[in-house]
Amino acid sequence: MSQPPPDETPPRFLPKSGNYRQLLSYRKAEILYDFTFRFCERFLKRGDRTIDQMVQAARSGKQNIAEGSKAAATSTETELKLTNVARASLEELLIDYQDFLRVRDLPAWTKTSKEALYARRLGKRPDESFETYRPFFEDRPAGTLANLAICLIHQANYLLDRQIRRLEQDFVQKGGIRERMTRARLDYRDQRRPRA
């Protein structure tokens, strides 16, 4: 079987897998992990099983976004599944923070409260990182920090919902890896076929 001439390289069918660190959803989830780790360390008693559950839910949100992004090159289905797992993990974390407020009779911020609006403005900063929120850990009470975390989770969930919708649309428009592989193989074979 003859080799193709050097300038006739087969077409690439694997898309570039995304750089998850550039995803806003990942950056927000990373902030939530750092935030939750410190929140649990400061406000929950050592030995409380809720610590492990909250930290693991925050970690799962972050890790599944990264893993899904890297899996994107070979499996749209896996990317979609893992992104949805991340979304579900952050929903679990949201409930934990809401429970924290409720069982302690601490007020939850309304969506339009001045505190929630301020938190949303912080979340829109282009340089947002955990350092944006670190000063709040110096002197804010548990209720304020739990509400702040809830605002962050709502932002991350909004981003993940949009990401999941985009992945669904991409799959419908471009297909999955098997379709791309078949298309690339047929295109390559057609290019190699001698012209009549």
Q: Based on the structure, what is the number of domains in the chain?
A: 1
> Does the pLDDT of residue 17 top 80, yes or no?
no
Domain containing residue 157: 23-138+147-186
Structure tokens belonging to residue 158 = 């909004």
The structure's pTM equals 0.81
Residue 96 domain-assigned? yes
Is 40 within a domain? yes
pLDDT tens digit sequence for 116-152: 999 999 999 999 999 999 999 999 999 999 999 999 9
Q: Determine, yes or no, domain membership for 18.
A: no
Residues 33-59 have pLDDT tens digits of 999 999 999 999 999 999 999 999 999
How many CA atoms, within 13 angstroms, populate the side-chain half-sphere of residue 49?
Answer: 0
What gap in Å lies between CA 186 and CA 177, rounded to an integer? 14
